[in-house]
Chains A and B, each alone.
Chain A
Amino acid sequence: MKACEKKAAKKKLNGKNSLRNEIDAWVLMLPMIIILYLFVWRSTVMGIVWSFFNMKAYSVRDFCGLDNYIKVLTHTHFLPTLFNTFKYVFWSLVIGYLPPLFIAIMINEIIHFKNQFRVIIYIPAVIPGIAAMLMWYYIYYPDKTGLLNMLLGKIGIEPYQWLNNPKFTIIGLIIFSTWKGFASAMLLYYAALQSASVEVYEAALIDGAGPYRRLRHVTFPAIEGVLLLTFIRQIIGVFQVLQEPLAMTGGGPNGASTSISFQLYQYGFNSGGKATGQAMALGVIIFLILIVFTIFYFWFNRKIEERY
């Protein structure tokens, strides 16, 4: 009986302590919760609600049902911009998905100057975004003063239009964003490579496995989880591309680099307040598309966590 009472008292005390700890935790989290509520949750929910209302600038007027959605979906630029966005995603996977992996493998394999290489390769990531865009704007400049055209000039080739060429503009922007952003993905791969078992690697070497077989049978199984996650994250990230076309091409030439987020920006900030409701509706459409990718992301993530 006594023991039982003691146990109950202890449990009560533990309960009190955990409750107290929980209150402490909640109070400490409160500022962040308020900030998240004000700037993320509330705006997301209000965006969804307001997408069903007529708006004058940012003031809500009357309920209009699906009007904003119809206007967005029947806008003659909607399908071309959606197609452009998928083009961004496609080219980012073609151009930007594997280079970070190759560089991570290269750094992992080399013995000398490993740290120096890591620092040099990370430099683009620490250059401020706008400065980097401006730099690349002049690298791509379409007359003889552009860096790439100067190089072409050295071998007797006429200046190329680069970002002025509607067929190249998205590829050009993706090359820039790959250069700017590949260091973070490279670090992820590098960390995964570092965690690969040294014993298995050495065993493969003793068994006479060449670089390709080591890559195929040792390295790849160690990083395939990260590869899958990066794949989905890259799709989600590039689907929201905005800064590059905004700063480097203005969405041109003739809409060739306008992404769906750029179109949302135009609705929200360049419509003189007339298309705010449509900006909300397009935001919801993007949200729904990204939700599909996010579900995939979590599903993959769970699978990977289960495996390791």
Chain B
Amino acid sequence: MKKRYLRKLCFIMAAILSVSVFSACGEKATDKDEQGRTVISIGNYPSKEGETRDIWDAKWKKFEEDNPDVKIEPDMWEFDIKTFYAKEAGGKLPNLFISHYTEIGQYIDSECVGKLTDVMKKRGYEGKFNPKILKIVSDDKGDIYAFPTTSYLFGLYVNMDTFKEVGLVEEDGTPLQPKTWDELAEYAVKIKEKTGKPGFAIPTTQNCGGWMFTCIAWGYGTVFMEQGEDGKWKATFNSPEAEAALQYIKDLKWKYDVLPANSLIDYAEYFKLYATGGAAMIIGGGSSVNQYPKYGMQPASIGIVGIPAGPKRHVTLLGGTLYAVSKESTEDQKDAAIRWLETSFNYNATEDFKANKQKEIERALNDNQLVGVKTFKPWSNETESVKFENELIDKNRNVDLNNVRLYNEFIENCPAEIQPEEPVCAQELYAILDGCIQEVLTNKDANCKEILEKANYDFQQNYLDNL
């Protein structure tokens, strides 16, 4: 008797499991709810209970009150390039998701994102964005595929405690700006001699080393690729300029001995090295200040200055974050998504925008993040919202202005050329350059010319020829 019941129970459970597997596959999203409201899912919604989540919940509630025709559905998926394409293929991307300038070209090529040209035009964004940034998020025909939200220019983070100890500060406490890469090496040597700690660090894995190396190499006059008249791309970094840049990295290790002993440094390790005093200077954008509190670094220990110049050019790299919409999104959903974005990213300083920025600053202060660094905006510095945000940062600054003054001036009136990332196969190029950097850092006898010849050939053969 008991056995019969057990068998029936197993039967029912098996049937339920089978049905649930199939039903999960058949789920289909709709763009309107039963009340006729446009439903949009918002990616990167905070999943953990806490202050950040409370701020987002309040923003969500307020937005739905102000926009009764829109219903927000939070999506806790945090953007990750490794899961992005699988979610996209399964039609499971949120309508609105965050990403970076470096990836948008891939999405446009892969036809994974929705076009925003019409809705941006309708909402009055024509002529509002910095054309250089707009070009990054547009295709060859000029159609716009993303809403740029924040930008950064590479600068140089310095450890204020170390700089003060070594005497690399002005009388008023402003850190000294290394004007050239060679001067940076001199500073690093001084730091190593006086403190015994590495003066500089560069990441070398996860494509980060290549990413930062491109900026240094541009300063040495390197051109990484060129497009021929037939439209085909040619790798051109088997050049004396690139060789000089790679030799500079090699010298930092073997001639000056100012780099950390570890030559396999990923992005997390890179930030940790700086935050824990393992490297006195690192390259970074103004937005990476949020990385340091988790390692216990106090805001007062952080200083940031402009990027040094190379022997041929003074140039810095432009990057940033953006929001894109899934290709399945309807025009109504795109419109609702842009309205949602406008509450935090707007050229007009609306009441919503002001309130949300105020909350963001308060949260940063509570998290013991440095407040005081200005960021390079996708729109002009004269726009209302940028002025408001900059004033808010000045008002709430939690460090001595001199710690960040040089970078803020660098952003405001950039003396360097501003260059976006390489136009095609940027990530593949970074991966190859990671290998070049690793080679010169682990092999004292490495021949920079030969390494770059091989890297140039690999890049051409494996990637550019396959475009």
Q: How far is the CB of B265 from chain A (nearest CB, A)?
A: 9
- Does A191 reach chain B (CB closer than 8 Å)? no
- Mark interface residues in B83-117 (1 if CB within 8 Å of A CB, else 0): 00110110000000000000100100111100000
Are A250 and B14 neighbours in the complex by a CB distance under 8 Å? no
Query: Which residues of B are found within 8 Å of A251, using beta-carbon distances?
Result: 205
Within 8 A of A (CB), among B387-436: 425, 427-428, 431, 434-436
* Chain A interface, DSSP helix/strand/loop, else mixed: loop
Return chain A residues, CB-CB under 8 Å to B328. Answer: none
Q: Do A142 and B461 have beta carbons less than 8 Å apart? A: no
- Assuming the contacts A57-B89, A76-B458, asked whether A266 and B262 have C-beta atoms less than 8 A apart, the reply is no
Range, interface on chain A: 35 or more
Interface centre among A31, A144, A250 (most CB of B within 10 A): A250
Give CA–CA (A156, B130) in the complex, Å.
Answer: 59
Whether B86 pairs with A161 at a CB distance below 8 angstroms is no
A58 to B88, CA, bound (A): 8
Partner of A164, one of B85, B263, B431: B263
Task: State which of B103, B260, B264, B462 has its C-beta within 8 Å of the C-beta of A272.
Answer: B103
A48 CB, nearest partner CB in chain B, Å: 18
B18: chain A residues within 8 A (beta carbon)? 30-31, 34
Inter-subunit contact B435/A255 (CB<8 Å): yes
Complex Cα distance, B438 from A251, in Å, reads: 11
Which of B15, B21, B89, B262 contacts A58 (CB under 8 A)? B89
Q: How far is B22's CA from A58's CA once the two chains are assembled, in angstroms?
A: 21
Kindly state whether residue A269 has any CB partner on chain B within 8 Å: yes
Cα distance A56–B207 when bound, in Å? 22
Q: How far apart sit A34 and B207, CA to CA, in the bound complex (Å)?
A: 39
CB of B11 within 8 A of CB of A252, answer: no
Contact between B442 and A269 (Cβ–Cβ < 8 Å)?
no
* Interface membership of B30, Cβ < 8 A: no
Task: Say if the beta carbon of B7 comes within 8 Å of chain A.
Answer: yes
- Confirm or deny: B266 has a beta carbon within 8 angstroms of a beta carbon on chain A: yes
| Closest B residue by C-beta to A252 | B438
Residues of A within 8 A of B233 (CB): none
Contact B14 A56 (CB under 8 A): no
Q: For the complex, what is the distance from the CA of A254 to the CA of B435, rounded to whole Å?
A: 4
The reply to whether the CB of B255 lies closer than 8 angstroms to some CB of chain A is no
In the complex, how many angstroms separate the beta carbon of B344 from the nearest chain A beta carbon? Answer: 27
**A272 contacts B442, C-beta separation under 8 Å:** no
Could you say which residues of chain B place their CB within 8 Å of the CB of A58?
85-86, 88-89
Which B residues are in CB contact (< 8 Å) with A110? Answer: none
**Which residues of chain A have C-beta atoms less than 8 A from B86's C-beta?**
58
**Do B264 and A163 touch (CB < 8 A)?**
yes
A164→B262 contact, CB < 8 A: yes
Residue contact A56 to B262, C-beta cutoff 8 Å: no
Contact B262 A31 (CB under 8 A): no
The B-contacting residues of A in range 134-163, CB under 8 angstroms, are 141-144, 159, 161, 163
Residues of A contacting B425 in the complex (Cβ-Cβ under 8 angstroms): 274
Do A27 and B438 have beta carbons less than 8 Å apart? no
A250-284 interface bits toward B, Cβ cutoff 8 Å, 1 = contact, 0 = none: 11111100000000001001111110100000000
Q: Is the CB of B15 within 8 A of A27?
A: yes
| Contact of B442 with A159 in the complex, beta carbons under 8 Å | no
Cβ contact within 8 Å between A254 and B438: yes
Does the CB pair B435–A164 fall under 8 Å? Answer: no
Instruction: Looking at the assembled complex, report how far the CB atom of A59 sits from the nearest CB atom of chain B, in whole angstroms.
Output: 6
Given A76-B457, A274-B109, A143 and B260 contact (CB-CB distance below 8 Å):
yes
CB distance from B420 to the nearest CB of A (A): 16
The 8 Å CB contact of B262, one of A27, A38, A142, A272, is A142
From 1 to 33 in chain B, residues with beta carbon under 8 angstroms from any chain A beta carbon are 7, 10-11, 14-15, 17-18, 21-22
> Is A34 touching B21 in the complex (CB atoms < 8 A)?
yes
Q: Is B35 an interface residue (CB 8 A)?
A: no
Q: List 11 A-B contacts (CB under 8 A).
A: A30-B18, A31-B18, A31-B21, A58-B89, A77-B458, A142-B261, A163-B264, A165-B442, A250-B264, A272-B427, A274-B110
Nearest first, the 6 closest Cβ-Cβ pairs linking A and B are: A250-B205, A58-B89, A143-B261, A272-B106, A31-B17, A253-B438
List 6 additional A-B contacts (Cβ < 8 Å) besides A254-B438, A274-B109: A164-B261, A166-B442, A252-B434, A254-B442, A271-B427, A273-B85
